[in-house]
Amino acid sequence: MKLGSVNLDTKVYIIAELSANHNGNLELAKETIQAAKEAGADAIKLQTYTADTLTIDCKKEDFIIEGGTLWDGKSLYELYRQAYTPWEWHEELFTYARSMGLDIFSSPFDKTAVDFLERLDPPAYKIASFEITDYELIRYTASKGRPMIISTGIATLQEIQDAVEICRSEGNGEIVLLKCTSAYPAPLEEANLRTIPNMRETFGTTVGFSDHTTGIVAPVAAVSLGARVIEKHFILDRSIGGPDADFSLDKTEFAQMVQAVRDTEKLLGRVDYSMTEKKRASRKFSRSLYVTEDIKEGELFTEKNIRSVRPGYGLHPKYIDEIMGKRAKKEIKKCSPLDWNMLE
């Protein structure tokens, strides 16, 4: 499967999530995109909503955030009004990112956002974790025929299956499911990354990881378990603050994560039992059968005069039982590698 500029069969796709880390400043947003490119991201992701497309301007208890989050005490409307990316920025940000060879796309949060983003020709769409229950949004977005990246942070098993089937019913089989823990920041013990290979097997899709832990360990572990997409919140400098600052990586940290992921890709390689040139060269240090004392012509080979030792220029040690009890065809000096032409 190809996602944007990357073939997921050969390379992990690394997404820098801008989210609210522009702090309402267009120039800061552009600086952040530039930094993400320099840090090694393959793509930058926006979020396309307004407070009014997400919720109601209401201060009733239902609409007040609580539960130990970074945003406790705010109303949903207040948070989204602070965090949203102005729609009038999108075209400029898309053009800016593309000018430096960086993929750019977004998470739409309602149908009007999908229609708006369609005009910008994004390489994919992302369905956020909390929108996975909005089946009509998934259906409408999938109907556009672009790859679908779907976070599963709050979903039940059935809801994940439903989302996949909805996409496929629209003729869209280009699906990436992201393992995700919807806590901000997410505790390491709640990541449960062993779910990644199970998701791939259960749903028959490409699987990735949307990470809200602090640090870079979780993405590396996810790649080792088969994640082909990594999404991580990116900020120019955490000191600028903002709703998502605490669980975002800065440029240096993100670059370290990218390098660690790329190194992990190299380490994983492919299933390979072939005998490479390096392996062949190293075999000279393996064990083989050597003559350990002078042997006369016609003398029996025994455990006393034949041993399995390093280096590896003699016969394979597996032949030792076959050779024992046979006689020497000629005189053999100590330290000689054993060869079949030495046997009668």
The 10s digit of each residue's pLDDT in 22-58 is 999 999 999 999 999 999 999 999 999 999 999 999 9
Same domain, residue pair 213 and 94: yes
291 and 260 in one domain? no
On whether residue 39 sits in a domain, the answer given is: yes
Amino acid, res. 326: K
Q: What is the pLDDT of residues 251-278, one digit of tens each?
A: 999 999 999 999 999 999 999 999 889 9
Judge if 205 and 252 occupy the same domain.
yes
- Residue 329 CB contacts under 8 Å (≥ 6 apart), including other chains: 297, 341, 342, 343, 344
Enumerate residues 6+ apart whose C-beta is below 8 A from 309.
287, 288, 290, 292
The answer to whether position 217 is within a domain reads: yes
Among 298, 309, 301, smallest CA distance to 326 is for 301
pLDDT at 74 over 90: no
pLDDT of residue 182: 86
Q: Other CB atoms closer than 10 Å to residue 296's CB: what's the count?
A: 11
Question: Does the pLDDT of residue 68 top 90, yes or no?
Answer: no
Do 261 and 281 fall within a single domain?
no
pLDDT for the residue 287: 97
pLDDT band at 241 (very low <50, low <70, confident <90, very high): confident
For residue 123, cis peptide bond before it (omega within 30 degrees of 0) = no
In a domain, 156, yes or no: yes
Asked if the structure places residue 115 within a domain, the reply is yes
> For residues 105 and 125, is the Cβ–Cβ distance under 8 A?
yes
Residues 251 and 222 both lie in one domain: yes
- What the block records as the tokens of 44 is 């930058």
Q: How confident is the model at residue 106 (pLDDT cuts 50, 70, 90)?
A: very high
CA-to-CA separations, 147 to 13, 59, 124, 143, 204, in angstroms, rounded? 13, 37, 5, 10, 15
With CA atoms as reference, report the closest residue to 154 among 91, 214, 86, 67. 67
Boundary residue ending a domain (268, 300, 317): 268
CATH number, position 297: 3.90.1210.10
d(CA 210, CA 228): 11
CATH code of the domain in which 9 resides:
3.20.20.70
132-141, 234-243, 261-270: which has the minimum mean pLDDT? 234-243
Whether 90 is covered by a domain: the verdict is yes
159 with 186, same domain: the answer is yes
Q: How far is CA 32 from CA 20, 72, 108, 195, 282, in A?
A: 11, 27, 21, 32, 47
Residue 178: per-residue pLDDT? 98
- Percent of the chain whose pLDDT exceeds 70: 100
Closest Cα partner for 180 from 228, 203, 213? 213
- Residue 56 domain flag: no
In the numeric block, which tokens belong to residue 216? Answer: 């870079």
Can you give the pLDDT at residue 219? 97
Q: By residue range, what is the domain housing residue 98?
A: 2-49+84-268
Residue 50 tokens read as: 């307004």
Q: Tell me: do 257 and 297 sit in the same domain.
A: no
Residue 74 included in any domain: no
Is residue 312 one of the residues assigned to a domain?
A: yes
Q: Judge if 40 and 102 occupy the same domain.
A: yes
Rounded to an integer, what is the distance from CA 274 to the centroid of its chain? 26
Residue whose token pair is 């769409």: 125
Q: Do 323 and 195 share a structural domain?
A: no
DSSP per-residue string spanning 200-239:
HHHH-SEEEEEE-SSSSHHHHHHHHTT--EEEEEB-S-GG
C-alpha span between 7 and 84 (Å, rounded): 31
Query: Which residue among 241, 268, 295 closes a domain?
Result: 268
Whether residues 255 and 308 share a domain: the answer is no
Higher-pLDDT residue of 182, 319: 319
Q: How many domains does the chain have?
A: 2
From 268, 302, 328, the end of a domain falls on 268
Same domain (yes/no): 238, 332: no
212 with 178, same domain: the answer is yes
Regarding predicted confidence, which is higher, 68 or 323? 323
Residue in the structure block whose two tokens are 């992701």: 45
